[in-house]
Structure 1
Amino acid sequence: MRVQHIIWLPEIEEKLWVKHHLSLAEVEDVLFGKPFIKFVEHGHRPNENLYAASGQSEDGRYLIIFFIYKENQEALIISGRDMDHKERKNYERKRK
């Protein structure tokens, strides 16, 4: 799975910053880097499922980004946050 473009909704951009202090650049760092992507659940539309991408920003933050993957390789951002302790431990184990 490869993300070619990110779709930003203004209310999600604001939520990411206000609630989680995530910048758009940090989300892009994760999705355009080498994230570990995990299926979360089937979407409401065929072939548009929810995924979680785990990765690190250029500043070193360990983040998990939730997005809907579209057929045209676009990612509609739903949410994002810092990984919790267990998620970070799993991420670091997979990187080795």
Structure 2
Amino acid sequence: MYIRQVIILDDVEEKIWRKHHVRDFEVKEVFKNRPHIEFREKGEVAEGEDLYSAWRRTHAGRYLIVFFIHKFTQDALILSARDMNKTERKFYAKKKH
């Protein structure tokens, strides 16, 4: 999947920092390092703009999962980001190899 640009709206940036202590540069880092991308569900607002998750370990060693809408413009509109839980980390370890 091609991602032209990562878009993080101000309110989303504030929410992911407040709730999950994830910074915007960490979210962008996930997309720069060829993440594992997984389809989550079909879009409800615009057909073809579906929900995905991107999974990746950051340079600092954090295992992050980022939820985003893949827009028609090839942009990733970020909805949320957080640390992977134990089960997700095991899944990610299997998928990356």
Query: How far does residue 32 in structure 1 lie from its aligned partner after superposition?
Result: 1.8
Shift in Å at residue 53 of structure 1? 0.5
**SS class of match (1:2):** coil
**Larger strand percent:** 1
Matches within 5 A, 1:1-96: 1-44=1-44, 45-96=46-97
- Point out 4+ residue stretches in structure 1 off by more than 3 angstroms: none
Cα distance in structure 1, aligned partners of 2:2 and 2:59: 19
TM-aligned CA deviation for residue 4 of structure 1:
1.4
TM-score with structure 1 setting the length = 0.95
Structure 2 portions without partners, runs of 5+: none
SS in 2 for 1:93: helix
* Contact persistence 1:29–1:56 (CA under 8 A): no
Identity %: 46
Pairwise CA RMSD: 0.8
**Unaligned stretches of 5+ residues in structure 1:** none
